[in-house]
Amino acid sequence: MIVAFSISPTTGDETGSVSEAVAAAVRVVKESGLPYELNSMFTNVEGEWDEVMAVVKRAVDAVAEVSPRVGLVLKADIRPGWDGQLTAKVERVERLLAP
């Protein structure tokens, strides 16, 4: 499965930035060893249901350590038997776009 998630703390620094809290969440994902990618809006992580959801929970917990309230947006692509789709899905589309 691939999960795209975004964690939003309710508090930021003096500029409104939440980069430090987001970095704490992404650090959890990185340390999990699961394939992941970070973009400007979401973190995508790939693995089995239980391991991905455990990582998302730990990432939320990391943000909750610095914020009294946390928002979570999560979208999942559940396709049993398919691995490596974090990059393969993009590669299939790019092949179709190639001249």
pLDDT tens readout for residues 51-99: 999 999 999 999 999 888 899 999 999 999 999 999 999 999 999 999 8
What percentage of the chain exceeds 90 in pLDDT?
A: 80
Paired with 2 in beta bridges are: 46, 77
Domain ranges, residue 17: 2-97
Residue written as token pair 């999960």: 3
In this prediction, residue 15 carries a pLDDT of: 72
- Contact status, residue 21 vs residue 67, Cβ threshold 8 Å: yes
What pLDDT is stored for residue 52 in this prediction?
98
Give the number of domains in the chain: 1
The enclosing domain of 81 has a CATH number of 3.30.70.930
Whole-model pTM over 0.85: yes
